Structure 1
Amino acid sequence: MASEPVKRRLAAILAADIAGYSRLMGADEEGTLARLKAHRRELIDPKNKQHRGRIVKTTGDGILIEFPSVVEAVRFAIEVQQGMLERNAEVPEDKRIEFRVGINLGDVIVEGRDLYGDGVNIAARLEALAEPGGICISGTVLDHARDRVSFEVEDAGERALKNIARPVHVYSIIIDPRRRQGMPRPQERALALPDRPSIAVLPFQNMGGDPEQEYFSDGVVEEIITALSRMRWLFVIARNSSFTYKGRTVDVKQVGRELGVRYVLEGSVRRAANRLRITGQLIDALTGAHLWADRFDGALEDVFELQDQVTSSVVGAIAPKLEHAEIERAKRKPTKDLDAYDYYLRGMASTYRGAKEDVGEALQLFHKAIELDPDFASPYGIAAWCYYWRMTNGWTTGRQEEVSEVNRLAGKVAQLGNEDAVALSFGGIALGLVAGDLEGGVALVDRALALNPNLAVAWYASGGLRAYFDAPDVAIEHLERAMRLSPLDPMFFMRALTVVAHFRADRYDEARLLAEKICRERPNWVASLRMAAACNVLTGRLNEARRFIARALHLDPGQRISNLKDRIGPYPPEDFAKFVEALRKAGLPE
């Protein structure tokens, strides 16, 4: 008689146990069991039901659960470990029950209600690697969950696990940011290389000896980045990610891994009197080999020509057969007035600092640039965006006046920005989110993307507008493209607008986790504090919500329910009503 065929299926498996269980039982057997039963009854069982887990088996201190998807398994683990942090907050350390969790996605053998095989064994080995209160996941789990659940990880590298034939890439999910040191980190996980030539331009060193000239050398690099990014076949990392390396001694190979690029351009700028010298070297980030190096000298009024020479030489080193039309297009410059350009660069430097007084100073500088060259599109666009930054932080001085000014500035961008994708992007997002003209804003941004599909800020603007205007999932897709082009962007706007998209799609847990992450990294950003408060209310965490709104009121004491519309983007009425009611429950005054 033929044997019955073995039943197999792909399963998301979670294994958990209690750290130090024997010690806890030895010290207080009855108390430990009572606390464990309370944790099961009040936290673990409800969360397991919510995420549709099936308990395969339990042991004295362990549990094995099968979930219908990796996403549900990861959400369950994060919510349980966060819940345990709260429940253990007032418990003496020697009496805390802390779980270690491992999650894997793999093929399993099914026998009745039980599961066997490497898929299960790997989850158990990952649980053993986790620190108390921690979660370890396999690389397969990370690949399936990272774009659907918001969380941070530490890379523990490839591990040889007992009785597992091949090494498994292990990651530790960060539950409490104060406990980042728990697992060894051989190196940061490398981003996959794009399917076309890719480059990052690092900040050039200011060799003039005058710190006041930093803005100028930064501006030269920005122009080179912009020129390179206009070439559709070339993948160019955005300025904001490249500039996270400013002032640091870097390993080019590490930069290549962290940014996911094949080539790195570095160099220096020396400005003395009316003379200018730009040096550059192009490096293969995979091998460390120098592909090209050169020096360019000229008069200050030749700055655009020198930038063109650097750009053309880099392009020539990467792809000698570059189409002549693309090179010529990259040479088009926004202004011939060097003083206007200088004011624009100073304004950009102030904008990137981002404080209230810096943004006010930037607006003055952009207006000076416009006075000198009224046909220079870039300062119109960035000035319009400064009003968006003022609005979202509650720095507005006159709402209607600023809306009128944004409409005027965006109108000039539409008129003058035929070849300026940066101006169109910034002008478009300001027109949509400050003036409320979402259709007009999207039209400007779509023009920017047609001009330069490599521009991170254009994808950011497109995703940001569509977070309010269009399907939230389309918004997230565009924001993810922006984040890939600028993976280390310190300004967080892309992630903040991703929060809005999740909120509008009723994915409050994803929105909450991402908003809280932004609040940890940028604790003075009022907009993310408000969103974290609202999402905590909508996920039943009223105490946390009140903490976030208290912080937001400390930073912006004048915000109220009655003036909230002046501080946020143009939500559809039903979403705005939901947001208002959540913030009212969190404690925002009327």
Structure 2
Amino acid sequence: MEFIEPEDQAEFMEGFELPHETRFESWLAQMRADFEAKQTGQPTGGAGQIGQTGRVQYNDLLPPIAVLPFVQHTPGEDTSPLGSLLSEELSRCLARSQAFTVTSYLASRQFDPNRIRPIEVSQVAGVNYLVSGVVHVRGQMMNADIELHDAVREKVIWSRSFQGPLSDLMAGQSAALRDATRQIGQTVVGESIRLIGFKPLAGLEGHTLLMGAISLMQDMNPASFEKAREILNVLLSRAPQHPLALTWMGFWHVLRIQKGFSNDRQLDIHLAEQLATSALSADPSFSLAHTLKGVISSHLLFHFDLAQTSYDLALKDNPNEALALLLKGTTRAYQDRPDEAVQLTDAARRLSPLGPQRYYFDAESAVANLTARNYGRAIELADRSLEANASYPTSLGTKAIALQMSGRTSEARDTVQDLLKAAPMFNMSRYHNYTPLAAGPAGEEWGHALKMAGVPD
């Protein structure tokens, strides 16, 4: 073998078309920089800095996690690759969720799950969380016992069993692993909230702060919602130009309006727009920042065509950006394209891993089904949203309209009373001026339904 040019300057895997190639090149540049720094003894730029490709590294604000090869329990000698296949697919699910920094499975498979200690994986791979498991096969079904470890404290913090068809796993369509991904996300968020509850914010890692802030900003309790802003301010004091922190602060202002907490709607819109612009200045392709621009346009300003442009840019950068898919779907509903709206919001709900946001995804999906005249499904989704967040105004309003349109007038009136308790200032004037539903083709019809159910003028 002969090198035709210096290997450190060669294009890695030249000729291969890679998905998310920009992000891969950014990662590769960072890895090469880290390697060079180790050779020269020079310090490296930490995660969250600008890489050689111009993309920002987000590792410092996402929980680092590794998945060990699963142990397969089978009679006789174990020669099946099922345990490795399961671990690799779970790594992919966690990576697609965009909620974690996932150690490559090619790196994780170096560890012997029967011998390695969690703290050793943490020290080698730099992770806080570790997933391990055992898989059994019964006929055409698999049963996976999965554990989530706090790798630093060497404690099991979550353990569940999941079942599913082997054929789904082989096809990369395992609902069991999607459910496991969602529950792992919920557990990590819960750990973040637990730590925030008794430790000073200044002493917590960035990913713990971000997960805690995302969770708390979903709360309809004003004190919890304000705590989320305090946490995000701590993150921004550490890294004022970090796109992820800027973007979530922008979403905080959007939710402040949607939850009825804002005393100055125009100011919150302005601040959200500024934060989106700052995030995109730091990383012009950042999918979540484009999603923020989109939701400001669609849900607050009712510029639906402009919003679709932002969502398309978000999905170009990351086709698995669940929030962009969701809000693109709801915007399609406002544009009188209900079938596409339902399809997109359903796809988004399958992608979303974080428990605290499930109510929001269900609420937006309920709107899509309302515009498709799927009143029963709209009520079902609104109820699911309200189980998690009992006073979220959007869910209450959607449910009231769907009940009224279904002829269930007494239940609709009861739901409107709940809506008025949650949002005492809500009336028909606010519906027409501030609700994107009112700007859609069925806006007058939905408004009449709310009025008949008892919303005051």
TM-score category (smaller protein): 0.5 to 0.7
Q: Tell me the number of residue pairs that the alignment of Structure 1 and Structure 2 aligns.
A: 300
How far, CA to CA, are the matches of 1:281 and 1:519 in structure 2?
Answer: 31
**TM-aligned CA deviation for residue 579 of structure 1:** 1.9
How far, CA to CA, are the matches of 1:368 and 1:377 in structure 2?
Answer: 14
Residue 540 (structure 1) aligned with residue 390 (structure 2): no
Query: Which TM-score applies when normalising by structure 2?
Result: 0.55
Counterpart pick for 1:401 among 258, 263, 267 = 267
**TM-aligned CA deviation for residue 559 of structure 1:** 1.2
How far, CA to CA, are the matches of 1:282 and 1:464 in structure 2?
Answer: 38
**Contact kept in structure 1, 2:428 and 2:451, CA below 8 Å:** yes
How far, CA to CA, are the matches of 1:356 and 1:489 in structure 2?
Answer: 20
The aligned counterpart of 1:207 is none
The aligned counterpart of 2:63 is 221
Amino acid at match of 1:531: T
Counterpart pick for 2:133 among 283, 289, 292 = 283
- SS of 1:562's equivalent in the other structure is helix
Counterpart pick for 1:421 among 287, 298, 304 = 287
**TM-aligned CA deviation for residue 548 of structure 1:** 0.4
Counterpart pick for 1:576 among 429, 434, 443 = 443
**Contact kept in structure 2, 1:460 and 1:479, CA below 8 Å:** yes
Residue 453 (structure 1) aligned with residue 303 (structure 2): no
Give matches, 1:247-326, under 5 Å. Answer: 278=128, 280-283=130-133, 286=142, 288=144
- SS of 1:492's equivalent in the other structure is helix
Residue 410 (structure 1) aligned with residue 276 (structure 2): yes
| Residues 556 and 514 (structure 1), Cα distance of their counterparts in 2 relative to 1, 3 Å cut | same
**Contact kept in structure 1, 2:65 and 2:129, CA below 8 Å:** no
**TM-aligned CA deviation for residue 339 of structure 1:** 7.9
**Contact kept in structure 2, 1:384 and 1:427, CA below 8 Å:** no
**TM-aligned CA deviation for residue 473 of structure 1:** 1.6
| Residues 289 and 561 (structure 1), Cα distance of their counterparts in 2 relative to 1, 3 Å cut | closer
Give matches, 1:325-344, under 5 Å. Answer: 344=210
How far, CA to CA, are the matches of 1:362 and 1:488 in structure 2?
Answer: 16
How far, CA to CA, are the matches of 1:516 and 1:352 in structure 2?
Answer: 17
How far, CA to CA, are the matches of 2:131 and 2:258 in structure 1?
Answer: 40
Give matches, 1:172-571, under 5 Å. Answer: 220-221=62-63, 234-236=92-94, 278=128, 280-283=130-133, 286=142, 288=144, 344=210, 346-353=212-219, 355-418=221-284, 420-469=286-335, 471-486=337-352, 489=355, 491-520=358-387, 522-565=389-432, 568-569=435-436, 571=438
How far, CA to CA, are the matches of 1:294 and 1:535 in structure 2?
Answer: 44
**TM-aligned CA deviation for residue 362 of structure 1:** 2.0
How far, CA to CA, are the matches of 1:221 and 1:350 in structure 2?
Answer: 17
- SS of 1:589's equivalent in the other structure is coil
**TM-aligned CA deviation for residue 527 of structure 1:** 1.7
| Residues 415 and 428 (structure 1), Cα distance of their counterparts in 2 relative to 1, 3 Å cut | farther
| Residues 287 and 527 (structure 1), Cα distance of their counterparts in 2 relative to 1, 3 Å cut | closer
- SS of 1:448's equivalent in the other structure is helix
**TM-aligned CA deviation for residue 363 of structure 1:** 2.6
How far, CA to CA, are the matches of 1:462 and 1:222 in structure 2?
Answer: 29
**TM-aligned CA deviation for residue 497 of structure 1:** 1.4
Amino acid at match of 2:447: V
**TM-aligned CA deviation for residue 476 of structure 1:** 1.5
Please identify which structure carries the higher strand content. 1
The gaps in structure 1 that reach 5 residues or longer are 1-217, 226-230, 243-266, 271-275, 298-317, 319-337
- SS of 2:130's equivalent in the other structure is strand
| Residues 269 and 396 (structure 1), Cα distance of their counterparts in 2 relative to 1, 3 Å cut | farther
- SS of 2:428's equivalent in the other structure is coil
Deviations 1:49-78 (A, max 9, x none): xxxxxxxxxxxxxxxxxxxxxxxxxxxxxx
| Residues 279 and 374 (structure 1), Cα distance of their counterparts in 2 relative to 1, 3 Å cut | closer
- SS of 1:540's equivalent in the other structure is coil
How far, CA to CA, are the matches of 1:404 and 1:366 in structure 2?
Answer: 18
**TM-aligned CA deviation for residue 496 of structure 1:** 1.4
Deviations 1:513-567 (A, max 9, x none): 4334434554322221111111222222211111100111122222111222465
How far, CA to CA, are the matches of 2:432 and 2:234 in structure 1?
Answer: 31
Percent identity, aligned pairs only, is 20
**Contact kept in structure 2, 1:385 and 1:426, CA below 8 Å:** yes
**Contact kept in structure 2, 1:363 and 1:383, CA below 8 Å:** yes
**Contact kept in structure 2, 1:519 and 1:528, CA below 8 Å:** yes
**Contact kept in structure 1, 2:97 and 2:353, CA below 8 Å:** no
- SS of 2:452's equivalent in the other structure is helix
| Residues 355 and 224 (structure 1), Cα distance of their counterparts in 2 relative to 1, 3 Å cut | farther
**Contact kept in structure 2, 1:281 and 1:290, CA below 8 Å:** yes
**TM-aligned CA deviation for residue 372 of structure 1:** 4.2
Amino acid at match of 1:467: A
Amino acid at match of 1:542: T
**TM-aligned CA deviation for residue 237 of structure 1:** 7.8
How far, CA to CA, are the matches of 2:238 and 2:63 in structure 1?
Answer: 23
Query: Which TM-score applies when normalising by structure 1?
Result: 0.43
| Residues 516 and 407 (structure 1), Cα distance of their counterparts in 2 relative to 1, 3 Å cut | same
Amino acid at match of 1:280: L
How far, CA to CA, are the matches of 2:342 and 2:388 in structure 1?
Answer: 21
Amino acid at match of 1:283: G
| Residues 427 and 544 (structure 1), Cα distance of their counterparts in 2 relative to 1, 3 Å cut | same
**TM-aligned CA deviation for residue 588 of structure 1:** 0.8
- Give RMSD over aligned pairs: 4.2
